[in-house]
Structure 1
Amino acid sequence: MSSRFLRTAIVLGLLSAIGPFAIDMYLPALPTIGADLQAETSAVQMSLLAFFISMGLAQLFIGPLSDMMGRKLPLYGGLVLFAIGSIGCALAGDIDTLVAFRFLQGIGASAGMVIPRAIVRDLHTGVDAARLMSLLMLVFSISPILAPLTGTAIIAFFGWRGVFWAVLIAALIGMVLLATSLKETRPKSARVESSLGSALAAYAFLLKDFNFLVLTFIGGLGLSSFLVYLANSSFVLIDHYGLTPTQYSIAFSINAVSFFSVSQLSGWLAGRFGLVRVVRMAVAGYAAAMTLLLLVMMAGFQSLPVMAIFLFVGYGFLGLVLPTTAVLALEEHGEIAGTASALMGTLQFVAAAVAMGIAGAFFDGTALPMIAGIAACAIGAFLLTLLSLGRRRGAAATEIPAEMPAE
């Protein structure tokens, strides 16, 4: 593995992680924010939901812009908006102001979500793209490991507002990395045909591409299941199971370790079995683990260790689902990689927002509604995989070109 390959993965992973860092550091503070701003749980959760909605919808504009203007300039713009949103959140005096600036923050974070995937597609396809995507997720996964613990420490010394000053610093560091460590991967010659009209045409084309949509929603349902956990876990683990914020941060981090550790096998497994077979196996494993967890908890076994074990196993499988479905979805769309990545991200985050809203509506303070939401998403991903990525098609798709020259 070349040093350039690794450096690219690190920079892209850190840029991708800035937005999620603003989520994961923030989770231990949700109960505190509600008490401080005198807001109900649903209102505090809305500040999280607003971030996801804006981050999902803004990708529709950021992706085509990156096709038309290159990858770096929209990344700079996103980081600036994210920084402004962070300052607004830190100074918010009521829950409505916090929600508004979280919405702005999400718009800025969208650039870090959509453009790195497009850059991966600019540089590689097939197995090499899977390797780079898995390395990117390795760096990306630093966020759910370190962020909750860091957030807990910051909250202890500076209060919940300190979290937003910390992510402001992260955005400034991202700007420095972007300026010094990442070259433009979409040359001017590739932008000639890119315009608003071509972006609209590309969206129309992608919405008719069954393969793209299937892979997008398989990954999207996997992401939705994780975000249902993310939105509810602090209330369940802290308020219901009685964990301290520090203990909650550790429990949250353990699942991230499972996710990113197994995700590093995606390149090797793809080279040995093919990307489609890896997707089928990973989705089946994830659905089995989450369904079994739901059945066990419905039978009355609702202890925290039982839930933690099943989640650890399940998120390991999820670590294979997300990078492989993303690589396959973008495989045949190199000329419109930014637009394709944007539509994929938007559809996935809208699906996740719907799942979070439904799970939140049934939240009763216990773990069961959260686990039911996770299992429903996992089962949906499995059924979609079963109906669309059949064995005949999977066998034909196992031979994926290893790499397309980027220069």
Structure 2
Amino acid sequence: MTLMRSALILGLLSAVGPFAIDMYLPAMPTIAAGLDADVATVQLTLTAYFVAFGIAQLFYGPWADQVGRKIPLYVGLGIFIAGSIGCAVAPSIGALIAFRALQGIGGAVLMVVPRAVIRDMHTGAAATKLMAMVMLVISVSPMLAPLVGSGVIAVADWRVIFWLLCLAAGLSLGMTAMVLPETLAPAARVKVNLRNLMKGAKVLLTDRVFMGLTLIGGFGFASFMVFIASASFVYSGQFGLSPTGFSVAFAINAIGFFAASQAAGPLGERLGVLPVMRGAVIGFAAFSMLLLVVCLAGFVSLPVVIIGLFFANACLGLIIPTTMVMALDPHGDIAGLASSLGGTLQMLTGGLMVVVTGAFFDGTATPMVGAIALCAVIALGIALWTFAAMGRTASA
């Protein structure tokens, strides 16, 4: 496949999972009212999705290393469809949380397998470029999905959102069967057994660089999860935006992330991956802390929050695709396991941060910004520790 065609196919597959998050964000206040649930309980529908999404990756990665990339996609998409149907007919908030977890179990395959496919085909700067192109396709999600969701709830019940997700997964299933080639040759497949899993996991968990890069991306992603879980309540509650207005504000914040992600590959080729990463992590922490100081000083307004998050997320757009590629590069022989373990650690980190910071969330911007800044500072600390190890490895 050509690079552009690969990016389009993998991007469309990868976008289904984010659509399952972004499309129903404008409906969260409506869901809370319709199912007689409070804000914290509705936020658990996101946490359940992310935690299940993270843990399930541990299964899909090794399985994809053994049987190839396509069979796990068929199974995962089938589970996602079943979860979407369950969400559409859920009679209570508890049932919705459970079916969102089932959705996450299925959707996890769309995080693991596309990244492993990229590693099958490319390494280094070429892989970063393809990952950035995939993210360009995915970038449609945070800009289009909330608008679609707000349009749906303007004319129909929020449950229709999940029927549309079911349709999107069905189309992805057809595309996998007819368009996506198998990229893992039979000779390169690794038999799944406990010994191999333990051996591979030990290699990854004791690799300071792999763990450091994974957690840098994990806390970066956690900040985005905190924003996703809180933004609809902040923008509609504190700032009085309509569902459509929230969708536009959310899209502006997401544009910074995905626009910057397109520069990750070219900047890495021109300046070196490590300098780009170092500057991005420092920038992410600096912009997040600056926004927090402004909010604590009492200058909280919608433009201030949007602009501050735009620049912080732009730095994040350089961090996440680069850490993904750098973490997988030395582990091509266990790319599926590395992808799944890395994804699991990142999702669990994000889910934990949403739960921990959710206890302090009061529906206003300052706690949300504070949680994002905390994630950024932790990511910076881990980055300094990891870059030191990478420097010693390079000089050895």
Counterpart in the other structure of 2:259:
261
| TM-aligned CA deviation for residue 155 of structure 1 | 1.4
Match of 2:330, SS state, is coil
Counterpart in the other structure of 2:71:
73
Match of 1:301, SS state, is coil
User: Taking structure 1 as reference, are residues 95 and 391 closer, same or farther at Cα in structure 2, changes over 3 Å only?
Assistant: closer
Counterpart in the other structure of 1:133:
131
Distance of 1:21 and 1:392 partners within structure 2: 35
Match of 1:331, SS state, is helix
Q: Percent identity between the aligned chains? A: 50
Counterpart in the other structure of 1:205:
203
Q: Contact 1:277–1:394 at 8 Å: present in 2 too?
A: no
| TM-aligned CA deviation for residue 242 of structure 1 | 0.4
Match of 2:36, SS state, is coil
Taking the TM superposition and a 5 Å limit, the aligned residue runs for 1:3-14 are 4-14=2-12
Deviation string for 1:186-236 (max 9, x for gaps)?
A: 111111554443122211221111110000000001000011000000001
Counterpart in the other structure of 2:334:
336
Counterpart in the other structure of 1:221:
219
| TM-aligned CA deviation for residue 114 of structure 1 | 1.1
Alignment equivalent of 2:232, drawn from 234, 238, 247: 234
Q: In structure 1, what residue type is equivalent to 2:184?
A: R
Deviation string for 1:158-198 (max 9, x for gaps)?
A: 21101000100110111111112211111111115544431
Counterpart in the other structure of 1:107:
105
User: Taking structure 1 as reference, are residues 65 and 196 closer, same or farther at Cα in structure 2, changes over 3 Å only?
Assistant: farther
Q: Contact 1:64–1:196 at 8 Å: present in 2 too?
A: no
Moved more, 196-205 or 176-185: 196-205
Distance of 2:227 and 2:316 partners within structure 1: 13
Q: In structure 1, what residue type is equivalent to 2:20?
A: A
Q: Does 1:378 align with 2:340?
A: no
Q: In structure 2, what residue type is equivalent to 1:345?
A: G
User: Taking structure 1 as reference, are residues 280 and 156 closer, same or farther at Cα in structure 2, changes over 3 Å only?
Assistant: same
Q: Does 1:161 align with 2:159?
A: yes
Distance of 1:378 and 1:205 partners within structure 2: 27
Counterpart in the other structure of 2:58:
60
User: Taking structure 1 as reference, are residues 394 and 235 closer, same or farther at Cα in structure 2, changes over 3 Å only?
Assistant: farther
Q: In structure 2, what residue type is equivalent to 1:389?
A: F
Counterpart in the other structure of 2:45:
47
Distance of 2:125 and 2:314 partners within structure 1: 20
Q: Contact 2:213–2:386 at 8 Å: present in 1 too?
A: no
What RMSD, in angstroms, separates the aligned Cα atoms of the two structures? 1.4
Q: Contact 1:127–1:267 at 8 Å: present in 2 too?
A: yes
Counterpart in the other structure of 1:96:
94
Match of 2:274, SS state, is helix
User: Taking structure 1 as reference, are residues 340 and 392 closer, same or farther at Cα in structure 2, changes over 3 Å only?
Assistant: closer
Taking the TM superposition and a 5 Å limit, the aligned residue runs for 1:249-328 are 249-328=247-326
Distance of 1:373 and 1:209 partners within structure 2: 28
State the TM-score, normalized to the length of structure 2: 0.97
Q: In structure 2, what residue type is equivalent to 1:165?
A: W
Distance of 1:129 and 1:395 partners within structure 2: 22
Counterpart in the other structure of 1:405:
none
| TM-aligned CA deviation for residue 388 of structure 1 | 2.2
Structure 1: segments with no counterpart, 5+ residues: 398-407
Q: Contact 2:208–2:386 at 8 Å: present in 1 too?
A: no
State the TM-score, normalized to the length of structure 1: 0.95
Distance of 2:254 and 2:363 partners within structure 1: 23
Counterpart in the other structure of 2:17:
19
Deviation string for 1:2-45 (max 9, x for gaps)?
A: x7111111111111110110110110001100111111111111
Distance of 1:119 and 1:393 partners within structure 2: 29
Distance of 1:391 and 1:195 partners within structure 2: 31
| TM-aligned CA deviation for residue 387 of structure 1 | 2.3
The ranges of structure 1 where at least 4 consecutive aligned residues each deviate by more than 3 angstroms after the TM superposition are 192-196, 394-397
Moved more, 194-203 or 147-156: 194-203
Distance of 2:223 and 2:352 partners within structure 1: 11
Q: Contact 1:276–1:394 at 8 Å: present in 2 too?
A: no
Structure 2: segments with no counterpart, 5+ residues: none
Match of 1:363, SS state, is coil
Deviation string for 1:277-326 (max 9, x for gaps)?
A: 11111111111110100011111110111111111111111111000000
Distance of 2:165 and 2:150 partners within structure 1: 14
Q: Contact 1:68–1:195 at 8 Å: present in 2 too?
A: no
Distance of 1:178 and 1:275 partners within structure 2: 32
Counterpart in the other structure of 2:365:
367
Distance of 2:363 and 2:127 partners within structure 1: 41
Moved more, 72-81 or 195-204: 195-204
| TM-aligned CA deviation for residue 47 of structure 1 | 1.1
Match of 2:108, SS state, is helix
Deviation string for 1:324-356 (max 9, x for gaps)?
A: 000000010001000000000000011001110
Q: In structure 1, what residue type is equivalent to 2:377?
A: I
Q: In structure 2, what residue type is equivalent to 1:327?
A: V
Distance of 1:220 and 1:354 partners within structure 2: 11
Match of 2:91, SS state, is coil
